Every structure is written in structure tokens, then in C-alpha cells.
Structure 1
Amino acid sequence: MNIEIKFLSLFPHLFRNSVILILYIFFGNSLFAQGNLVVHPKRIVFDGKKKIEKLVLSNTGKDSAVYNISFIEYKMNEDGELLSVKEEEEGLRFASPYVRLYPRIVKLGPNESQILKVQMYNTENIADGEYRSHLYFRAEQEKTALGTAAKAKEALVSVKLEAVFGISIACIIRKGENKTSLSISNMSYSKSKDQENLLLFKLNRAGNMSAYGDFLVSYVAPNNKVYEVGSVKGIGLYLPGSARNMRVKLNAPSNVDFKGGSFKVVFTENESKEILAEADLKL
């Protein structure tokens, strides 16, 4: 499905609201939202099929907003935390030198959306492998209105706190054959201090590309009845990392105490739902 939305301020207010609703209904899990900004899709992958991708930016708030779009470079640690880095290293190559985007500044009124174009270029002679950067969307603060500074001088103390948020999505270039393999290890079941049921395990990666997908956890009771007890969507394991520690909260069905039986963890590719890795833990 390909929906292209241009400057929605040209359309009636009711239609703009409907577009936001349509994005939620049809794209659901592929939307990335924080604050009043909704971004679809939540990552971009150039794999040789297309050189231009499009992002839909939507402002779901009641006020106008200005967003500045730039590149930021991250490295992921084993706990899934993204750490800002400045230079490339072995296994970590940046996509930003080979990607351009426009516009870089977007102003959206309430319930407005706009297309952002992301184009890959000058990649003919790059080596096989994966290149990754992150598109960073930063909400800009409103400029101080005329006269505000003068009024502030009249007060003895004037303190104004404003939250400025930013979100990022991965932008990946892949060239050559994907030789990545995944596995799940170190599975264990435990309870937290608050008596939450937790499943701990490690996702392992070997090969030349990053991995991205969804986890589904099932519990197979001693009577062989199967319950879906946990899920985590949109999990990435980025180069050069070879492992990511996972901690999944389990929802025990009524009259199920997780005694005996087994847990089954399945990791599937986000779009195709292809099984990338699976493992079992007997209790």
C-alpha cells in the first residue's frame, strides 16, 4: 500500500484528522511516535531496489510545530542502548555520506502531515556490507515573542522550563548478499522484586548485516495447551554488535502459574514475519 500525502493544509480540517486516523489504522506497528510527532515508517532500508524512500511526518498536537531533521551516529551496546559516536570503526560504517534528505526543516500545523524524501546517492563504488546512520527529528522551541524580554526584566525572578524532545530512526544501506545468522541463548525464568514474571535471554548475531524484528513468547503448559504470554516489537541488533540482552515481562493467564511445561521464544523478521531464530526453555 502506497499512500502519498502532500501539504495537507490544502485540505479541510476534517480530512486532515482522517489522514492521521488512517495512518494509525493501516500502519499501526510501523508508526514511530513521541510527543506530538508521528513518523512512518519507523526505519528506512536501502537494499538496491529503490534509491528514494519517503517518510510521512504528522503533527498530532493542537499547536503548530517546527522539526529540524539531521543525521546522528549511534553504536548499540549489549543492553540495546544507543550511544552517540563520532567516528567509524571496524564493522560500523556510516550511511550519512551517501544519503540526502529534503526538506530538512518541516513546519506542521495541528493535525497536518508532510512527505520527507530520503535519497541514496554516490554508492556505486562503495564496498559490500552495511552502512547505518540515524535520522534525528528535533522539535524546535518557539522564538521569543516581541516584548517578552522587556517584561521579564520587570520581574525579580523569571524561570521558564520547556521540554524539547527528539526521536531517531535507523537509515540503513545494504550492498551485497546478507550472510547474517541469529540464535537465542542463555534463557532463564525469574521473578522481579515486584513479583513480575520475567524471561531473560540473549539474542546472538553472526554475519555482515544488522537484524531487526519482533519477539513472541509462548508458554506450553504440562497439558500441552499453548498460551501467548509476552511480546516485544521492533527490536534491533545493529552492527558491529554480536549480542543483545533481552528482558521480557510475562503475562500469566488466569489459573496458570508457570510450573512445569516450557517457554518458547520466536524472533521473526518485522515485515515478512520469517522466523529468524527460536529457542525453548523447559521448566
Structure 2
Amino acid sequence: MPKRVVFEGVKRSEELNLANIGHDTATYIISVMQIRMKDDGSVEKIDRPDSGQNFADRNFRFFPHTVTLAPNEVQAVKVQLIKSSELATGEYRSHLYFRAIRNSDPLGEKELQKDSGISVKLVPVFGMSIPVIIRVGENTSKVSFSDISFHLEKETDPVLKITFNRTGNMSVYGDVQIDHISLQGKVTRVGTIKGVAIYTPNALRHLQFELYKINGIDYHTGTLQITYNSSNDTKLSEAEINLN
């Protein structure tokens, strides 16, 4: 925590709390990786920036690079902005990757029995990345919705599809909330998705998800109100779809 770092204004440093929630001592290796976001929200690792994309790794540093934590232990990782005066107006983004290296002999693990001279042992490797974003200058980004559609899969599962359209010079990030408004005016929260990002240089992101099945909600009537709010509750975009 937190799950993203944004340097803008006078902010020059951030502390991340890294916690080991496992049952064994683990070593975490922290590195920098570059990521491209696709229109469906999935990501892939890249080595060179796309057109309109700027990497941030030359303008921040972090320490330590390796952390060993006992179960339930927490340590702070400090991220500092550097050489910011060299940056032109715009947004710069790279990702910190936290990879857990498990203890070679975890507690409570039984020795494998070998009956043919060959054994296979699968050990999961856990890792996660968080964006480090540097913003310079005025943020001109805006978001709108298009291609909103709703249908009932198998006649019972409510599914909503939305296309996010981003314009401007910086990424957007926020939470999506969907409310059902009945013909009588009753408002019921039927969907929430936290942490929806559209990174530069992407102009689009397609989102599809199931709404809640709630007794008394008739998805054949009324309206769905869709709101996209930033982390500080600023409304980025909103729209309504008529279900009648």
C-alpha cells in the first residue's frame, strides 16, 4: 500500500508498505518494468515506449531493492523523484514490480516421495506491479462513455458493456459505480468496480462485467446510471441507459 504512486505538484517522495501475509519468511526483489495497456485492460511487458508514451524510470529511485520479511512483518520502501526539472510537460510512467522469492525449504512442507526416479514440484511465484506516474504541467485529460449496452445472459445474468474514451495528455484512474433507478425513483447500487485505469497513450478501454443480482431489481424496466469518479471523488464521466 498504496497501490499506485503519483508525483505531481510539489510532491517529491512516497513510502510504500510491503507486507508478508504468508506463513513463511520470504524475500522480495523489487525492480522496474515497462507496461503497455491494451484496450481490454490487460497489460503486457514492453522494452520501448509506444508513440505518445513516456517512461518514468530515469526520474525516480527507490530503496531498498531487496527485502526479507518474516510472516506478518512489514517494511517501508521509499520512492523519490529525481531530475524532475529536466522533464517536459506531460506524463511519465513506469511500474515497480514486487516479486516474492519463497524460502527454499518452507515450513510444514513434506518431502516428495520418489518412486520412479523422477519428481515434479510446482512452486508458485507471487508478484505484483504498481505504477509510478510523474505528471508535469496542466492535466487536460477528459473521459466520456460510448457503446453502452446491457443484456441478460442466459436470461438471468445482467451484463453491462462500456467503452471509455480518454482524451488529453495524462492517464485517468477511478472507480465505476452503477445504480439502478426504478420507475418509482428508487436508487439501488448494482455494481462497483474499483481502480479502473486508462493509461497514456491509450484512447479507449472496453469494459464488460456482471451486475449484482438483487431481489426486487427488475432489469427490464427503469434506468442504469453509470458514474466514473476519480480517487478524490471528482466526477470524470457519467451516463444513463434506459432499460424500458
TM-score calculated relative to the size of structure 1: 0.80
Q: Does 1:282 align with 2:237?
A: no
Q: Does 1:273 align with 2:196?
A: no
Q: Moved runs in structure 1, 4+ residues, more than 4 A? A: 151-155
What's 2:157 paired with?
A: 196
Offset of 1:153 from its aligned partner? 9.9
Offset of 1:124 from its aligned partner? 0.7
Q: Which amino acid aligns with 2:67?
A: V
Q: Does 1:249 align with 2:210?
A: yes
**1:72-103 residue CA offsets vs partner (Å, 9 max, x unmatched):** 10111110011111102321110111111100
Q: Residue 208 of structure 1 aligns to a residue in which SS?
A: coil
**1:52-77 residue CA offsets vs partner (Å, 9 max, x unmatched):** 11100111122111000001101111
* Unmatched 5+ stretches in structure 2: 107-111
Instruction: Return the structure number with greater helix share.
Output: 1
TM-score calculated relative to the size of structure 2: 0.92
The number of residue pairs the alignment matches comes to 238
**1:179-198 residue CA offsets vs partner (Å, 9 max, x unmatched):** 00111111111123483111
Q: Residue 58 of structure 2 aligns to a residue in which SS?
A: helix
Structure 1 CA distance for aligned equivalents of residues 113 and 158 of structure 2? 53
Q: Residue 162 of structure 1 aligns to a residue in which SS?
A: coil
What's 1:236 paired with?
A: 197
* Unmatched 5+ stretches in structure 1: 1-39, 146-150
**1:150-200 residue CA offsets vs partner (Å, 9 max, x unmatched):** x99997112211011210011100000000011111111112348311111
Q: Which amino acid aligns with 2:34?
A: E
Contact map agreement 1:221 1:258 (CA 8 A) in 2: no
Which structure 2 residues correspond to residues 37-56 of structure 1 after superposition, within 5 A?
40-56=1-17
Q: Which has the higher contact order (CA 8 A, sep 6+)?
A: 2
Moved more, 229-238 or 195-204: 195-204
Distance 1:242 1:157, change over 3 A: same
Q: Residue 260 of structure 1 aligns to a residue in which SS?
A: coil
Offset of 1:253 from its aligned partner? 2.4
Q: Residue 97 of structure 1 aligns to a residue in which SS?
A: helix
Which structure 2 residues correspond to residues 199-214 of structure 1 after superposition, within 5 A?
199-214=160-175
Instruction: Return the structure number with greater strand share.
Output: 2
Equivalent of residue 215 in structure 1, options 170, 173, 176: 176
CA RMSD of aligned residues (A): 1.9
Contact map agreement 1:185 1:279 (CA 8 A) in 2: no
Equivalent of residue 227 in structure 1, options 185, 188, 195: 188
Contact map agreement 2:7 2:135 (CA 8 A) in 1: yes
Contact map agreement 2:141 2:166 (CA 8 A) in 1: yes
Q: Which amino acid aligns with 2:121?
A: K
What's 1:12 paired with?
A: none
